[in-house]
Structure 1
């Protein structure tokens, strides 16, 4: 059994989180920079959850709740630590947060091409809703 600590990220963690995502996360986001992550933590200090083992970052998830919907982003586990329960522990912590805040249903942003993630999300009880399509408009400069 691993000795895992899950906690909310602080400002001092953000550079390490960004470096972690470059190594462990699939794809990139327009918000994957210091300014974007600072804005997230400033607006919702408990949204970015970190999994640590012996003080070392081994996983992340963003559990965002806007008062209406529960959204999951950036579930990432260090590649050499996958399939050891870290992702499941992060999702459980995120779901507990959502329930505590009054959330009723969680959704996850999962890249279509990321087959490995499809298996992980499915194992956690999530499934695609094919009748929905995400529409986006970039607002960044």
Structure 2
């Protein structure tokens, strides 16, 4: 699998996190394309990759205690089994005191296969309730906004 990278290009003036992956044979359904449920796994892999990537903190996780509150997915075209990698581009579209929204595109150089978004809530694991994002988390997320 290709390692994730920071996107220094600014498509639409927004810095995007890039996570490349290989479509696996097991992702394909009886219709010959990636099963709709597998896209959530692709988004999760990209999200985890993004949240672990903070070169300024030298490997420490920039975000902690998060839960997904909502996913929305628009399927644009079928993604078939292929030898070439595909990528998930991820960026922040909304930032609030205790939550943020991520936007995603699953794409290659020619096509967008999926557009999606997730609302993520900052969560206090010990007290089992939402919490405010701290300054470091906000700074990390602002870099992708």
Identify the structure with the greater strand proportion. 2
Greater relative CO, 1 or 2 (CA 8 Å, sep 6+): 2
Bigger Rg over Cα: 2
TM-score, normalised on structure 1?
0.26
